[in-house]
Amino acid sequence: VRIVHAWLAELVRVPEDVETTAHELSLRGFEVAAVETGRSAVIDFEITANRPDCLSHIGLAREASAIWGVPVRMPDLAMPSPGPAEAIDVRIEDPDLCPRYCAQIFQVRVASSPGWLVERLEAAGVRPINNIVDVTNYVMLELGQPMHAFDLDRIAGRTLVIRRARTDERLTTLDDVERPLDRDTLVIADADRAIAIGGVMGGVDSEIAQTTGLIALESACFLPSSVRRTSKRLGLKTEASMRFERGGDINAPPVGIARAAALLNRLEAGRPRGPLIDRYPVPRSPARVYLRAARIGRLLGEEVPAQDVPRILEPLGFGVAASREGADPGWMVSVPTYRVDVSREVDLIEEVGRHYGFDRLPATFPVLAAPQPPSDPRIGRDRLVRRVLTAAGFSEAMTFAFLERHAALPFCEAGFEPAAIANPLSEKYAVLRPSLLPGLIDACSHNRRRERRDIQLFETGSCFRAGGESRAAAFVWTGAAQPPHWSAPVRLVDFFDIKGVAQRLAGAFGIEVDCLSATRSYLVPGRTAELVVRRDGTAHHLGVVGQVAPAVAAARGFPAQEELYAAEIDLAAVAALEASDDLTAQSLPRFPSIVRDISIVVDEVLPAATVRGTIRSAAPATLVSIAEFDRYQGKGVPAGRVSLSLRLTFRASDRTLTDQAADEATDGIVGALRSAHGAERR
Amino acid sequence: MTDPASHIDDLRTRFDRELAQASSEPDLRAVRDRYLSRRGGLVSGLLKMLGTAPPEERPRLGQLANRLKQDIEERLSARLAETERARPARDAVDVTLPGRTPALGHRHPLTLLRDRIEGIFTRLGFVVIEGPELEDDYHNFEALNMPADHPARDMQDTLYLASPVRSAVGTPATVLRTHTSGMQVRYMEQFPPPVRLIAPGRVYRRDNFDPTHTPMFTQVEGLVVGEHVSLADLKGTLFVFLRELFGANRQLRFRPSFFPYTEPSAEVDISCAACGGRKCAMCKHTGWIEVLGSGMVHPAVFEAVGYDPERYTGWAFGMGIERVALLKWGVEDIRLFYENDLRFLEQFPL
């Protein structure tokens, strides 16, 4: 709200320096967006949603009164003596939505406003229109009470009915837009139809014109939630709706009319015709809240001297009476009706704290009375993922959790429709990501377009699949397999690089994974594997690894001819399968091991995992490891066959193995490979 | 015949000059041969010549000649050792060629800050909790004293789901959480006081992209509940935290504000690093930049989770980690954090 310094100074004696005024108010909770110095100095405050009373000069005058201990001077509220009464009938049909409605008829002479009034309105950011409308706006800016003026001759039947709109009723508002109304909209109607939307905007038909002679001045109080709903539904935010939806002062309507009458009189622009009509079916009494002295210190952490409490609260308009309720000495405080934000003791403590000064509070530290439980285990797991992947050369990316629907579809399980956002920013952010990979592929494309060929990125985060929200870690790799070096040609990343990282990552959690050939719509067939963990005879799915399908990569701007590898791991599965914390350290082997290398020729389609399985089942317990160290096809190996070289390591825990024992074991293994797979030893 | 003593001096002067001129190993060897060779060496010749000197002078001259010989030997071997050291070894490498640097990735700068923040609060005895990113209206708004039609809901423009989705805690969710406060509500529903936690995570708001806004960002919130927890404790804890995060030389300011879930509410400002508090465009000519919102937990929130608001008091705070990064590192545009340009990511410490 734009507060004109001279106007404020009329209501309370503030320091002449506008910067000082702005600064002191900013320390009491009124953030200053800008200060304009000069002839018409203005402070632009950002008023928080709880303080509609401060969307006015009088509201900030009360704050200033509490700061500098100077009284508020109310403006002229004297009602001039009315002329002969003009008839009008005012009726509230829905007192829930309009608890109070005041109206008074004035005989007016419509003209433009005098210079001082125009200047004030313009400084406050309101466009001057004519003296009548300008007076209503002036009252709103000064006292915070929105007002409205109807041309009395345009009110059919000289009747104002405050009621819900009828279904199919329509109204053209002052901004010349015809608006459909409904049963939830509160309107001001005449005998025939709606002429204004209550608390939001008037209608164009009853607008003040140059020829207007008689007006009905409205000053009312509307239910905040109703005004807010109407304003949202119509997409119509006005100075009035902004104030009413935060909460109007039930006692302000007659005061607003009195102020308007005094101003019209001063401008010689009009005088009342007949008495003020005040419809207030269920009068309210101000709230009374008990404030315990001890509670102030307990909440603020500092004892505020007792005499400071009335000194702070009274200038703000609170009635303060020292009292003793039970064993708790304190004050019975009556809350002015414009303070819609104050209903509990804690609200009063905030008032005391604000004006006592947050800057004066000591800086202490809370007592730790009991230990807290351990932190969420997911945090530690995410950290380990980061440690392993950064050590493997991957940098961490963060990508948005939403993307366009067609880009999400290739990454969805069959038949799953990605979760849609009801009000997305745009189609680009329409659905929640079913996988971290599309975002990472985008990040690769971004870097690739910026002359970066060697890219390793990962992300941990939420994704949203058929089962709902879940967490994953994903990583992508393109370009060189190792940092380029002058000593050797660059080797490009391949399937076994990304698979190795996936295994290393799973291994960091004590999980041993197998790779099974699989298919995914977004990965290249034949270069796709499912990561599987075998436990207690069941195969658990841990994730997927493979080469990104060129068409999918190209759709996200990555060059189709370049190979891009990706893996994604389900962190919930990691949590379920990770090794437990109780570990017993193994003693180191006390006897030497014996190594035997074998080379066998088998069918080229025979999976390495099958060969290992045959070796395991044929070997004695002394076989401690199998390592493939060469795979050869070409001269000396028949077509369709492949030569595999394997290193077998044998060791016993209780004795030194003999060469003979190792040879016998090796022969047994070769024999088993021969009978199972027709393997020939080379 | 010349005086043997002056001959010794001449020899020394000549040797000095020749040694200085010898620049290579062969030069040095030639010098050595010239002076020290048993046959024909100048020093050997000198020693022979001394035999002809008068017997009473022989001991003194002998001493001088021997010292000369010793000096020449020492200095020659020192120079030869020097050239030896300078000569490339048989398996020498060019040590100035680039080494093989193992690949090492970078944490995201937001993770870096989040880890630091978690580190500070963990040291202060806080537990770190995580929660679902999809929330229901109750945990995101209502339990936090923001009923439907509350004007404060405008402070956080919300992204809604088109139809309910199962959240990470198995409940039907309708909104993308606008803050991590829902986790705090869930925690209080589950555990009795005292509470001392921080809740970091990604949050979502329907904000259009600009240099200081993205529709997804990262927040960290904190909550402390106990029997004697005060606003002064909030101020003290936040000041310790912010000084550790931003540096002890930054000024801090604690001033009233409004949030529906806290009463009283406060914001913390930090002195502008760009102008050092002298007022500039960065701090909108105030000398201060807002870093976080906080306040004493509203009794309505305690009532919603079943804590007795008479017995317990508490405070909460929330801050955007991107904002910290902008202020701490002078990042110009928040969108850089989500572009994942490696040239950007690799600027930050590991």
Nearest-by-Cβ selection for B97 from A300, A456, A486: A486
Model-level pTM?
0.86
Residues of A in contact with B102 (CB under 8 A): 393, 483
Q: Which of A283, A331, A326 is CA-nearest to residue A304?
A: A331
Asked whether the predicted pLDDT for residue B111 surpasses 60, the reply is yes
User: Please, where are the H alpha helices in A427-491?
Assistant: 437-448
Q: Do A394 and B105 touch (CB under 8 A)?
A: yes
Nearest-by-Cβ selection for B103 from A365, A393, A396: A393
Which band of pLDDT confidence, cut at 50, 70 and 90, is reported for residue B42? confident
A125 DSSP 8-state letter:
T
Q: How confident is the model over A301-316, as a mean pLDDT? A: 96
Asked whether the predicted pLDDT for residue B1 surpasses 60, the reply is no
A489 contacts A396 by C-beta, under 8 angstroms: no
Q: Do B230 and A224 touch (CB under 8 A)?
A: no
Provide the shortest C-alpha distance from residue B204 to chain A (in Å): 9
How many CA atoms are closer than 13 Å to the CA of B61, on its beta-carbon side?
A: 20
Nearest-by-Cβ selection for B232 from A362, A371, A398: A362
Asked whether the predicted pLDDT for residue A550 surpasses 90, the reply is yes
Is residue B221 exposed (0-12), middle (13-18) or buried (19+ Cβ within 10 Å)? Answer: buried
Nearest-by-Cβ selection for A386 from B111, B194, B299: B111
Q: Do A350 and B345 touch (CB under 8 A)?
A: no
Q: Cα(A207)–Cα(A370) distance, rounded to whole angstroms?
A: 67
Residue-wise pLDDT for A59-72, tens only, equals: 999 999 999 999 99
Task: Give the contacts of B349 (CB within 8 A, at least 6 positions apart).
Answer: B112
User: Which residue, among A31, A230, A441, would best test binding to B if mutated, counting the most B CBs under 10 Å from its CB?
Assistant: A31
The partner residues of A278 in beta bridges, in order of sequence, read A102
A118 contacts A235 by C-beta, under 8 angstroms: no
Asked whether the predicted pLDDT for residue B82 surpasses 70, the reply is yes
Q: Which residue of A has its CA nearest to B168?
A: A469
Per-residue pLDDT at B235: 96
Q: Is A485 helix (H, G, I), strand (E, B) or coil?
A: coil
Q: Strands across the sheet with A395-396, in order?
A: A395-396, A455-465, A468-478, A564-570, A538-548, A523-535, A514-517
Backbone angles phi, psi at B285, to 5 degrees: 60, 35
Residues of B in contact with A346 (CB under 8 A): 263-264, 296, 298-299
- In chain A the first and final C-alpha atoms are separated, in Å, by 90
Q: Cα(A4)–Cα(A350) distance, rounded to whole angstroms?
A: 27
Amino acid in the structure at residue B155: M
Per-residue pLDDT at B155: 63
Q: Which of A485, A534, A486 is CA-nearest to residue A506?
A: A534
Q: How confident is the model over B155-164, as a mean pLDDT? A: 87
A681 DSSP 8-state letter:
E
Longest dimension (CA), chain A: 129
Which band of pLDDT confidence, cut at 50, 70 and 90, is reported for residue B151? low
Q: Angle, to 10 degrees, between the axis of helix B42-50 and the axis of helix B25-36? A: 20
A456 DSSP 8-state letter:
E
User: Which residue, among B235, B240, B251, B285, would best test binding to A if mutated, counting the most A CBs under 10 Å from its CB?
Assistant: B235
A162 contacts A101 by C-beta, under 8 angstroms: yes
Asked whether the predicted pLDDT for residue A280 surpasses 90, the reply is yes
Question: Any chain A CB within 8 A of the CB of B248?
Answer: no
- In chain B the first and final C-alpha atoms are separated, in Å, by 81
Nearest-by-Cβ selection for A301 from B167, B208, B232: B232
DSSP A68-100: HT--B-----PPPPPBS----EEEES-TTT-SE
User: Please, where are the H alpha helices in A200-337?
Assistant: 224-234, 239-246, 252-266, 293-300, 308-313
Provide the shortest C-alpha distance from residue A336 to chain B (in Å): 19
Rg of chain A in Å (alpha carbons): 40
Q: Which two tokens stand for residue A308?
A: 């400071």
Is residue A399 exposed (0-12), middle (13-18) or buried (19+ Cβ within 10 Å)? Answer: buried
What region, left, alpha or beta, does residue A224 occupy, with left being phi > 0 and alpha being psi -120 to 50 degrees? alpha
Q: Do A398 and B167 touch (CB under 8 A)?
A: no
Residues of B in contact with A375 (CB under 8 A): 122, 127-129
Strands A159-164, A186-189: pairing is antiparallel
Which band of pLDDT confidence, cut at 50, 70 and 90, is reported for residue B2? low
The partner residues of B172 in beta bridges, in order of sequence, read B166
A294 DSSP 8-state letter:
H
Provide the shortest C-alpha distance from residue A398 to chain B (in Å): 6
Provide the shortest C-alpha distance from residue A472 to chain B (in Å): 12
User: Please, where are the H alpha helices in chain B?
Assistant: 4-21, 25-36, 42-50, 58-86, 109-123, 137-140, 181-190, 231-246, 299-305, 321-329, 336-339, 342-345
Q: Average per-residue pLDDT in chain A?
A: 94
Is residue A438 exposed (0-12), middle (13-18) or buried (19+ Cβ within 10 Å)? Answer: buried
Reported ipTM: the value is 0.89
User: Which residue, among B127, B177, B302, B342, would best test binding to A if mutated, counting the most A CBs under 10 Å from its CB?
Assistant: B342
Higher pLDDT, B330 or A591: A591
Nearest-by-Cβ selection for A365 from B214, B227, B233: B233
Asked whether the predicted pLDDT for residue B342 surpasses 90, the reply is yes
Q: Cα(A149)–Cα(A188) distance, rounded to whole angstroms?
A: 12
Asked whether the predicted pLDDT for residue B279 surpasses 90, the reply is no
Per-residue pLDDT at B52: 79
Asked whether the predicted pLDDT for residue B59 surpasses 90, the reply is no
Q: Which two tokens stand for residue B122?
A: 């963990």
Provide the shortest C-alpha distance from residue A435 to chain B (in Å): 15
